[in-house]
Amino acid sequence: MTTLKAVRGTRDLLPPETELWNHVEAIARRVFSRYNFGEIRTPVFEDTSLFARGVGEETDIVSKEMYTWEDRARAQSEKAQSLTLRPENTAGVVRAYIEHKLGETGLLQKLYSIGPQFRRERPQKGRYRQFWQIGAEVIGPPSAGSESPLRDAEVLQMLAAYLDELGIEGWRLEISSVGSAADRARYTAALREALAPVKHRMCEDNQRRAETNPLRVLDSKDENDQEIINALPNIADYLDEDSKAHFAAVLAALDRCGVRYHINPRLVRGLDYYTRTTFEFTHGGLSPQRASSPGAPILGAQNALLGGGRYDGLSEALGGPKAPGIGFAIGEDRLILTLQSQQQQSAPLADAFIAPLSADLNPAALELARELRRAGLRIELGDGAFRLKKSFEIANKLARKIVLLGEDELASGMLTVKDFASGEQVKVARGELANALGRVESVEIG
C-alpha cells in the first residue's frame, strides 16, 4: 500500500515549532488590541464570484491559483454552486461587512483575522498552497473618517510596532500610491502605449501581460526585461491632486512618528482592488537580494513578509455601500521562517561541550574549560552528575563537538572528541585539543 503524505504545498506544523506559531499569534492579538481591533472569523470557503469580483478576474490569483469546485447547495438540489477556498481574506471581510450591515453603526470597523488561505502556486521555501495570514482591515463610511490618511499611517505604525515587538530585525517598508481608479486607468493606458513598440523584445509572459494587465509587467522578475521595465512611466506622474495630497499626508504622519519607509513607485500588488496607498514589508533574509537593480529594489515575491493597501471601491464593487478601507495581511509562514533564521544567528553553537564522566571530575573539567576558553574557544561545560546519554543530548543542542573527560582521559592526556555534524569520533592529545576544536567544518543549516 502506498503511504499517504500531506498534499504537495501543504505541511504539518509540529511541536516545538507550533509554540513559535502560538507566540507570533499571541503577540499579534496583544498589539492589535492596543489599537482597539476586534477579531473576525469568516468561512474558509466562499462563493467563487466573491473573489472574481473582489480580487479581479485578470489577476494571477483568480485566473490560475484558486481551488474551485462545483457544490450542491442542498443535497437534493439540481443547481450547483461554484465555491472556492479563500485565496485571501479581504474580500470575505468586506462581504461580512456588507452582509451584517456594519456600516450602519456609523463607526469604523477595525477587524483582524488569523487563518489559512489557499493558492495553487508553485511551492518553494516561503511559498505554500495552504499558508497562514494574520490580517487586519479598517473599513467604514467616509463620515467615520475611513478615507483619512491618518488611518493609513496608524495601520503602518501598528505593523511596525508588531514586527519590533516580535523581534523581527531588518524589515523594510516599501510604500507607493496607485492613485484613484481614474489615475490607475490613465497610468495603465500610458503603460500600454509605452510597451507597444518594445513588448516584442520581452519574454512571453510580459508580452501577454502588456495586453491583458500592463501593471503586472512591473512585477516581472525576468532579468532580460528589466532595462525596458526601468524605462517605463512612473505612477507618481499620473496621480491627481487629491491622491498626491493624500499620499503626502500619509508620509508626513509616518515621519512624525518615526516609521521608516522607502517610496517604491514600482510596487505592484497582485490584487486589483487597491487604490491610493499600497505597501509591502520586505525582509532581505529569505532569499538573496537582486544585485541587478540596487537603487530600486523589485524584490522577489518570497521576500514580502506582508502586503496591503487601501481599497476604497471594494465594498461598492461587491454591491455594498460606499465604505473605503485599508488593511494588510502578514504571511505568517514567512514570519516564522524569518524568526527561525534570526534565532540561529543569535544563538550560535559553542565550539565544544565538555562532559566530565563523574562528579569527581568536575574540578578537572572546569580547569580544562578554562584552558580552552583562554585559547579563545566558546565552551559549554556539562556536569559529572549527568548520565552520558544526557550529556550527549544537551551537547548536541548547544555545541558542534563533545569532549569526554573520564579518569582514563585525565591520566593519559588523550581526550575523546566527537563531531556531531560528521559523526566522527577521534582521540586528541590535550595539547592539540584547542587546535582540533577550533577547526570549523562547514555546517549545513536547514
- Applying CB under 6 A, the residues found at the interface with ligand HAM are 88-90, 119, 121, 127-128, 131, 133, 135, 137, 270-271, 304-309, 311, 327-329, 331, 333-334
CB closer to ligand HAM, 88 vs 183 = 88
Shortest gap between Cβ of 228 and ligand HAM (angstroms)? 25
Amino acid sitting at position 53: R
Residue pair 420/400 in contact by the 8 Å Cβ criterion: yes
Residue pair 304/331 in contact by the 8 Å Cβ criterion: yes
Q: Cα separations (Å) of 432 from 110, 224, 369?
A: 65, 54, 14
Closest C-alpha to 218, from 200, 234, 197: 234
Closest C-alpha to 341, from 15, 3, 20: 20
Supply φ then ψ for residue 128, to 5 degrees.
Answer: -130, 170
CB closer to ligand HAM, 254 vs 329 = 329
Grid cell digits, residue 179 = 492613485
Q: Dihedral through CA 358, CA 362, CA 367, CA 370, nearest 10?
A: 110
CB closer to ligand HAM, 159 vs 271 = 271
CB closer to ligand HAM, 305 vs 372 = 305
Residue pair 367/379 in contact by the 8 Å Cβ criterion: no
| Chain-centre distance for alpha carbon 364 | 49
CB closer to ligand HAM, 112 vs 353 = 112
What are the residues whose beta carbons fall under 8 Å from the beta carbon of 164, sequence distance 6 or more? none
CB closer to ligand HAM, 307 vs 320 = 307
DSSP characters over 337-379: HHHHHHHHHHSPPBSEEEEESSGGGHHHHHHHHHHHHHTT--E
CB closer to ligand HAM, 271 vs 405 = 271
What are the residues whose beta carbons fall under 8 Å from the beta carbon of 35, sequence distance 6 or more? 110, 154, 158
CB closer to ligand HAM, 131 vs 171 = 131
Residue pair 105/89 in contact by the 8 Å Cβ criterion: no
Shortest gap between Cβ of 238 and ligand HAM (angstroms)? 21
Shortest gap between Cβ of 220 and ligand HAM (angstroms)? 16
Using CB positions, name the residue nearest to ligand HAM.
331
Closest C-alpha to 314, from 11, 129, 97: 97
